């Protein structure tokens, strides 16, 4: 429900309340499973009954002792989403306004997770079989044809698992903003404001079968002996709704509405975005210490300036110059030019160890920071940061460097276009378009190599698109 309440001539409130119930997905044949880490050795609860699959020789499907819903988990039924908006005219006219708003918005269950559930036993199975191609056929390191379908519960079977972790409540976002708008002379207006957002219960991948660290790293033991669920695969990829994010931005905008054949829009934004996982498949470096993964978002852009404009050239019939019809108007009349210019600071990136330094099979292991990566060198595409500031961590440990602590190259671009419309008849027109992207051919460098010990470490070896020019005709009828 939603309602506008005009409190006074200067103040208007917009109030609303929304309720959402996102029911759990189910399968018509109840082929969904839920990993149960509380059971010794782990098991998969089968939807729509009291059965479970355990990684042992037949019979692998046994009574679970609990009733598992068809949707695996109860619905998240408390999704109340209030909305509040405020518009205030301090002088009682339309030349200045202050606007304020707040709202909560819920997200739905990630569909990619549902798609992967059917891969789990007993309805599907993903097994990682490895062998040494150079090993003798009698060697234990060789992979033989007879071993392609290992017996369940055997050391070679170990199926991977996909699914949800915990109660998996619905993700939601709180968004708020404050803006002050002021109309200037003519058709120009300025606006300054603040935008904020907080994401809660956001999805992140966890490998629940990450091994424990060695008690004595100088005497490493096999990883499998330290995995909490050794009869399952190296990857028990579960999606946990435990991540959070924040975004704060201040902006200034100047806009001229289209008048006398000319309009423009210019803006500057200063922002900061933090999270623990920017992409759905991002995994933490250590599932036992998720706080280590909090850092700048992979899409965090600290500064951005954008300017765009449109100008109808003042030539031809009905215009200021060369106001004539016929061939002259056909050649120089009716042209419109457009321009977009933008500059932004670089995207952040992390420096990776490139090895399993913890000897625990964890993902996204970062390097050890041993110095200042921003000093002690002359920046170029051949050395974007100080490579001596990072090293591979000591065996049996995690790297100390933070996530997304360095900035990649900034980018600047200019796009220009020129349009003209030819009227062929009462109902048909032909539009000619000439467009130039990155017209000054600035090089949009990509991120540098950021894995310690690799040939591309610290180097930028690729870039985005160069200048592109295209001509087009569009017929409308």
Q: Which tens digits make up the pLDDT trace of 209-263?
A: 999 999 999 899 999 999 999 999 999 999 888 899 999 999 999 999 888 788 9
| Rounded-to-integer distance, Cα 307 and Cα 91, Å | 30
Distance set, CA 275 to CA 203, 259, 304, 344, 402 (Å): 11, 43, 20, 20, 13
Q: Per-residue pLDDT for 331 more than 80?
A: no
Residue 153: the pLDDT is 62
Higher per-residue confidence, 136 vs 242 = 242
The pLDDT of 204-212, averaged and rounded, is 93
Percentage of the chain modeled with pLDDT above 90: 64
Residue 425: the pLDDT is 84
Residue 390: the pLDDT is 97
Contact 398, 285 (CB under 8 A): yes
| Rounded-to-integer distance, Cα 419 and Cα 339, Å | 12
The pLDDT of 191-200, averaged and rounded, is 97
In the three-class reduction of DSSP (H, G, I as helix; E, B as strand; rest coil), residue 264 is classed as strand
Residue 155: the pLDDT is 66
Residue 375: the pLDDT is 92
Q: Tell me the pLDDT tens digit for each residue of 394-442.
A: 999 999 999 999 999 999 999 999 998 888 888 888 889 999 999 999 9
* Closest residue by Cα to residue 365 from 287, 279, 296: 287
The pLDDT of 57-76, averaged and rounded, is 86
Contact 286, 320 (CB under 8 A): no
The pairing of strands 236-259 and 161-165 is parallel
Contact 248, 272 (CB under 8 A): yes
* Closest residue by Cα to residue 351 from 284, 415, 412, 407: 407
The pLDDT of 31-60, averaged and rounded, is 90
Q: Per-residue pLDDT for 168 more than 90?
A: no
Helix (H) or strand (E) holding 36: strand 33-36
Q: Cβ-count burial of 150 within 10 angstroms (0-12 exposed, 13-18 middle, 19+ buried)?
A: middle
Contact 150, 156 (CB under 8 A): yes
Cβ neighbors of 249 (< 8 A, separation 6 or more) are 194, 195, 196, 269, 270, 271, 272
| Rounded-to-integer distance, Cα 308 and Cα 262, Å | 11
Residue found by looking up tokens 């539009």 in the block: 431
The pLDDT of 42-46, averaged and rounded, is 94
Q: Which two tokens stand for residue 194?
A: 């603040």
Q: Which two tokens stand for residue 316?
A: 């031809």
Per-residue confidence at 152, pLDDT binned at 50, 70, 90? Answer: low
| Rounded-to-integer distance, Cα 9 and Cα 209, Å | 62
Q: Which pTM value belongs to this model?
A: 0.88
Other CB atoms closer than 10 Å to residue 238's CB: what's the count? Answer: 23
**Alpha helix (H) residue ranges in 318-454:** 327-332
Per-residue confidence at 101, pLDDT binned at 50, 70, 90? Answer: very high
Distance set, CA 407 to CA 52, 137, 302, 373, 392 (Å): 48, 50, 10, 11, 21
| Rounded-to-integer distance, Cα 63 and Cα 457, Å | 53
Residue 154: the pLDDT is 66
Q: Per-residue pLDDT for 87 more than 90?
A: yes
Which range among 128-132, 194-198, 208-212 shows the weakest confidence by mean pLDDT? 128-132
Tell me the average pLDDT of the chain: 90
Beta strands in 145-220 (DSSP E): 161-165, 172-183, 188-207
In the three-class reduction of DSSP (H, G, I as helix; E, B as strand; rest coil), residue 477 is classed as coil
């Amino acid at each position: 429900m939603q309602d506008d309440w005009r409190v006074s001539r200067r103040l208007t409130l917009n109030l609303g309340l929304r309720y959402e119930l996102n029911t759990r997905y189910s399968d018509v044949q109840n082929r969904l499973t839920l990993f149960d880490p509380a059971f010794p050795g782990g098991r998969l609860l089968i939807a729509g009954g009291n059965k479970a699959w355990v990684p042992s020789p037949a019979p692998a499907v046994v009574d679970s002792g609990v009733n598992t819903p068809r949707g695996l988990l109860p619905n998240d039924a408390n999704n109340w989403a209030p909305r509040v908006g405020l518009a205030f005219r301090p002088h009682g006219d339309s030349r200045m306004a202050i606007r304020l708003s707040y709202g909560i918005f819920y997200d739905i269950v990630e569909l990619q997770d549902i798609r992967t559930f059917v891969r789990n036993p007993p309805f599907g199975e993903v097994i990682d079989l490895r062998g040494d191609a150079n090993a003798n056929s009698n060697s234990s390191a060789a992979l033989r044809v007879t071993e392609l379908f290992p017996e369940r519960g055997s050391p070679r079977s170990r199926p991977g698992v996909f699914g949800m972790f915990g109660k998996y409540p619905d993700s939601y976002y709180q968004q708020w903003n404050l803006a002050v708008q002021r109309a200037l002379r003519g058709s120009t207006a300025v606006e300054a404001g603040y935008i904020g957002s907080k994401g809660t219960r956001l999805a992140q991948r966890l490998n629940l079968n990450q091994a424990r660290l060695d008690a004595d790293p100088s005497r490493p033991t096999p990883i499998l002996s330290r995995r909490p669920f050794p009869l399952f695969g190296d990857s028990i990829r579960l999606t946990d709704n435990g991540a959070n994010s924040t975004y704060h931005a201040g902006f200034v905008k100047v806009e001229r509405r289209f008048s006398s054949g000319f309009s423009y829009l210019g803006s500057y934004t200063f922002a900061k975005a933090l999270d623990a996982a920017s992409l759905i498949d991002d995994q933490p470096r250590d599932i036992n210490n998720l706080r280590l993964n909090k850092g700048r978002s992979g899409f965090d852009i600290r500064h951005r300036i954008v300017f765009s404009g449109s100008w109808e050239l003042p030539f031809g019939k009905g215009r200021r110059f060369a106001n004539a019809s016929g061939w002259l108007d056909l050649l120089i009349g009716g042209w419109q030019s457009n321009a977009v210019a933008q500059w932004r600071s670089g995207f952040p990136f992390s420096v990776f160890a490139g090895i399993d330094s913890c000897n625990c099979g964890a993902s996204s292991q970062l390097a050890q920071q041993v110095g200042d990566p921003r000093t002690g060198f002359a920046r170029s595409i051949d050395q974007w940061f100080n490579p001596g500031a990072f090293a591979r961590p000591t065996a049996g440990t995690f790297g100390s460097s933070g996530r997304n602590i360095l900035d990649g190259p900034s980018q600047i671009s200019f796009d220009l276009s020129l349009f003209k419309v030819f009227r062929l008849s009462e109902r048909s027109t032909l539009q000619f378009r000439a467009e130039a992207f990155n017209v000054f051919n600035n090089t949009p460098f990509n991120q540098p190599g950021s894995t310690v010990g690799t040939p591309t470490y610290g180097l930028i070896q690729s870039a985005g698109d160069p200048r592109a020019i295209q001509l087009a005709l569009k017929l409308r009828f």
